[in-house]
Chain A
């Protein structure tokens, strides 16, 4: 039988990249989207049958709470609430802690100096983020595991284009 444990005896495939782990990594200096990207791989891919576990643990309190780590904590709380809504997972209570509502608006996007970019962000940002004063649009959790809808849209567009191309031109 194959031994799937290594070194410290922990089966690495059992190690979940929970949101609490992701946040701890961010507080330790990891790039936020490396930590969150690893969470996404588990949420959408390998551990999608363990979603409740991925978000259950409250976020650890960092040794030094900076504006940056506070923003990411709020972003993660909003993400958990939104993902739980979207995927019908029981939402943990810790996300409702008022500490995760930012006092100052965080425009987390490129091009925010342009008014119409801000207007679009106001319109598109899901409510759990907006309620916490974060405006980031709605593409942050697009992922490679859920592309069927896109494929359908692209195929449909091709079909329509072909149909239109085949229409006789009426003079």
Chain B
């Protein structure tokens, strides 16, 4: 999906939540390809919209989460999208890794409030996961944030994910050694 598609589907999701009688704000943080596409603009297309629900910790116990699932499924069928076009699969892992930043409000689609995390948080996640598919994004984010040395990268990671055992599990030393 392109930027205008993201806007269209989030508009539909906001309307669907309204139709389902959800009146309290539903806050999401966009991450992954959608963040790169809309904020860094180093790509023109993304397969899905990766998000974190900032106020929903236990999905199963949340009626709002059930409403969102229902709405995203209906949109997937109507608009011929992948069933996981609106994907919060990373939420649990990111919560375990550390505090999730509140982010700043980017757009409102009815009750759906879309927030942006700091670019440094996205770079931190990409450096920790460090997959081949992230290399272009890492380069673009390092350029934007003027991260040019290993020490700068390490300091930034420590800001968002200070726990060193997490760094070890993600083999961060090895990644930084390769990159800087």
Contacts and interface: CB of A to CB of B under 8 A. Distances in A.
Contacts of A139: 130-132
Interface stretch (B10-18, B55-63, B88-96, B151-159): B88-96
B177 interface: yes
Contact of A144 (B50, B169, B178): B50
A77 interface: no
Interface stretch (A28-36, A55-63, A81-89): A28-36
B80 A117 contact: no
B19 to A, nearest CB: 16
Contacts of B143: none
A148 to B, nearest CB: 9
Nearest to B165: A157
Interface string A138-171: 0111111101001101110110110000000000
Contacts of B45: 34
B174 interface: yes
A23 B151 CA distance: 38
Nearest to A75: B132
Contacts of B170: 150
Interface residues of A, number: 43
Interface residues of B, number: 38
Interface string B26-61: 000000100000000001010110100000000000
A93 interface: no
A46 interface: yes
Interface string A1-44: 01011100001110000000000000000010110111011000
The 10 closest A-B CB pairs, nearest first, are: A111-B178, A33-B133, A157-B165, A110-B178, A147-B93, A154-B96, A140-B132, A12-B80, A37-B133, A153-B169
Interface of A: 2, 4-6, 11-13, 31, 33-34, 36-38, 40-41, 45-46, 108-111, 114, 116-117, 120, 136, 139-145, 147, 150-151, 153-155, 157-158, 160-161
17 contacts: A37-B47, A37-B133, A40-B133, A110-B178, A111-B177, A117-B178, A139-B131, A139-B132, A142-B131, A144-B87, A144-B89, A147-B92, A154-B97, A154-B165, A155-B96, A157-B163, A157-B165
Given A40-B133, A147-B92, 10 more contacts: A4-B77, A12-B80, A13-B80, A13-B83, A45-B84, A46-B84, A111-B179, A117-B178, A154-B96, A160-B165
